[in-house]
Amino acid sequence: MRVIPTLFAAGLAAVAAFGLAGCSTTVDMDPAKDANDPACAEVSVRLPDTVDGQSRIWTDAQATGAWGNDGSAILLRCGVTPPGPTEAKCITLGGVDWIVDETQAPKYLVTSYGREPAVEVFIDNEVVSSNEVLTQLGERVVQNATKSESACTNTETLLDDATAG
């Protein structure tokens, strides 16, 4: 699940493209592999005008969304490869389980876990609250447009259960 460099690079490219375009209000992004999944169309139509006080900026790729003054505070792509079992940090916000990649903190790449299709969100935590972003997008978009197949487990609970039996 090493997609953060790609999305981070896409975010930087989006900022650069926005800066070069001057008056353009469209962020250049690459669609995810399965962006044509019908559920991603459902995700796209549910994208809100604002997330954590950041206005939506239009994108030029299918099943994507961007928010922020330059379109890089929050970047969303639907149709990414669903993550498999992992020991990475998993949190539940907005009714959705999210796998968190903290390798570029304070910028985070989070991917929905146990949902088809998977949605990834790149969040600049210096601009917005990651928790607020995931709560808003989870409740308004991901939870209602994607099918839940599985959920995160708590490693501590699994260890407790294994030693109890």
- Provide the residue-wise pLDDT of the chain in tens; the chain has 165 residues: 444 445 444 444 444 444 444 456 899 999 999 999 999 999 999 999 999 999 999 999 999 999 999 889 999 999 999 999 888 899 999 999 999 999 999 999 999 999 999 999 999 999 999 999 999 999 999 888 888 888 888 633 332 323 244
Q: What is the pTM of this model?
A: 0.79
Handedness of CA 133, 136, 142, 145 (dihedral sign): negative
| Per-residue confidence (pLDDT) for residue 143, from 0 to 100 | 83
Which residues, in sequence order, are CB contacts of 144 under 8 Å at separation 6+?
42, 46
Alpha-carbon Rg of the chain, whole angstroms? 16
Query: β-strands 54-59, 50-51: how paired?
Result: antiparallel
Beta strands at 26-27 and 54-59: parallel, antiparallel or unpaired: parallel
Residue 152's pLDDT is 85
Given a contact cutoff of 8 angstroms between Cβ atoms, the answer to whether 54 and 66 are in contact is no
